[in-house]
């Protein structure tokens, strides 16, 4: 499902119990310096990540000051975040004009809030294979054990043009092989895209059945994609850089196990670093 760019007026773009991605929550909050925003999402843990600007965050009396260092856009510096436990009241106060992402995943236990000032980093692919990418894991491996089911990352193209999410993969079913090994996990996923320059564009493919045509959506700056099922590679036009904010919420576990589309799975061996990339989604 594609949600076209629009001014959501600080209302959730993906609310709790969304019919397409019920395990996800997503909001974009725009504030001018000095303005405040409060929220709580029963049944969902969340993570506050300024796309631009700086905010102070209070979570049930626990304060995190000076979150976010980026001024111009998501390419201008490194991400920071605050983890908000299930159902907790969070207050965001803008220290400068800000656009702030709020990512969430369904969960049933209340943990402890914390901030993330450093992130895990992985780079994979190559210019030759048109798959050169950088992923910054905000809630990644180092937060394992501190978070319930929520994974939050930022993905950047390296260079201009090329594919992401390739080889095509899916993660819409919890299942094991005959030996009892997990071969796929159910994780709903939500993307929000940005392009540099911002008049750039891309295409999101979603294919549900092997050998049969799927759906294709034109991605614009600030497009949101909801991925409840299906194989889902995407591509950016030559001459442009693409970014997407990524939210993953698991049904039964936090660690993501991707199932590569059988037709293209052999290409895992042709793309440098992709096995390390897969291993980082923990």
User: What's the pTM?
Assistant: 0.95
Tokens linked to 211: 């050998």
Q: Is 109 exposed, middle or buried (0-12, 13-18, 19+ CB in 10 A)?
A: exposed
Tokens linked to 115: 């901030």
Whether 158 is covered by a domain: the verdict is: yes
Domains held by the chain: number? 1
Count of CB atoms situated within 10 Å of the CB of 26 = 24
Whether 142 is covered by a domain: the verdict is: yes
**Number of continuous H segments (helices) and E segments (strands) in the chain:** 1, 24
Domain CATH number, residue 174: 2.60.120.10
Whether 256 is covered by a domain: the verdict is: yes
Whether 1 is covered by a domain: the verdict is: no
Question: Among candidates 46, 77, 47, 81, which has minimal Cα distance to 67?
Answer: 81
* pLDDT at position 271: 85
The boundaries of the domain holding residue 34 are 9-110+118-279
Cβ neighbours for 145, distance < 8 A, ≥ 6 positions apart? none
Per-residue pLDDT of the chain (282 residues; tens, 9 = 90+): 999 999 999 999 999 999 999 999 999 999 999 999 999 999 999 999 999 999 999 999 999 999 999 999 999 999 999 999 999 999 999 999 999 999 999 999 999 999 999 988 888 888 888 888 899 999 998 898 999 999 999 999 987 789 999 899 999 999 999 999 999 999 999 999 999 999 999 999 999 988 889 999 999 999 999 999 999 999 999 999 999 999 999 999 999 999 999 999 898 888 888 877 777 666
Cβ neighbours for 240, distance < 8 A, ≥ 6 positions apart? 160, 161, 195, 196, 197, 200, 201, 202
Whether 163 is covered by a domain: the verdict is: yes
Tokens linked to 167: 């080889």
Whether 2 is covered by a domain: the verdict is: no
Cβ neighbours for 279, distance < 8 A, ≥ 6 positions apart? none
Tokens linked to 130: 């048109």
Whether 165 is covered by a domain: the verdict is: yes
Is residue 136 a contact partner of residue 102, using CB atoms and an 8 Å limit?
Answer: no
Count of CB atoms situated within 10 Å of the CB of 97 = 15
Helix-strand-coil percent breakdown of the chain, rounded to 5?
Answer: 5, 45, 50
Find tokens 């950047």 and name the residue: 156
Cβ neighbours for 58, distance < 8 A, ≥ 6 positions apart? 64, 90, 91, 93
């Amino acid at each position: 499902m594609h949600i076209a760019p629009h001014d959501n007026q600080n209302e959730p773009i993906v609310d709790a119990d969304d019919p397409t991605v019920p395990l996800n929550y997503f909001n974009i909050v725009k504030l001018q310096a000095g303005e405040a925003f409060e929220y709580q999402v029963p049944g969902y843990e969340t993570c506050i990540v300024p796309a631009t600007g700086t905010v102070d965050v209070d979570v049930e009396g626990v304060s995190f000051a000076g979150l976010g260092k980026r001024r111009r856009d998501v390419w201008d510096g490194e991400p920071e975040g605050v983890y908000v436990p299930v159902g907790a009241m969070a207050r965001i106060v803008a220290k400068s004009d800000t656009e702030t992402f709020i990512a969430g995943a369904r969960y049933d236990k209340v943990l402890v809030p914390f901030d993330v000032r450093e992130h895990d980093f992985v780079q994979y692919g190559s210019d030759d294979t048109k798959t050169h990418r950088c992923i910054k894991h905000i809630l990644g491996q180092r937060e394992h054990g501190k978070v319930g089911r929520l994974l939050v990352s930022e993905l950047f193209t390296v260079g201009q043009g090329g594919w992401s999410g390739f080889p095509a993969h899916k993660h819409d079913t919890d299942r094991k092989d005959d030996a009892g090994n997990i071969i796929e996990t159910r994780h709903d996923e939500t993307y929000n895209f940005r392009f540099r320059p911002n008049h750039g564009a891309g295409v999101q493919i979603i294919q549900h059945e092997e050998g049969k045509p799927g759906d294709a959506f034109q991605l614009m700056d600030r497009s949101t994609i909801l991925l409840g099922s299906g194989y889902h590679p995407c591509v950016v036009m030559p001459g442009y850089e693409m970014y997407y904010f990524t939210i993953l919420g698991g049904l039964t576990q936090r660690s993501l196990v991707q199932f590569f589309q059988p037709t293209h799975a052999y290409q895992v061996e042709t793309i440098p670093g992709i096995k390390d990339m897969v291993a980082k989604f923990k």
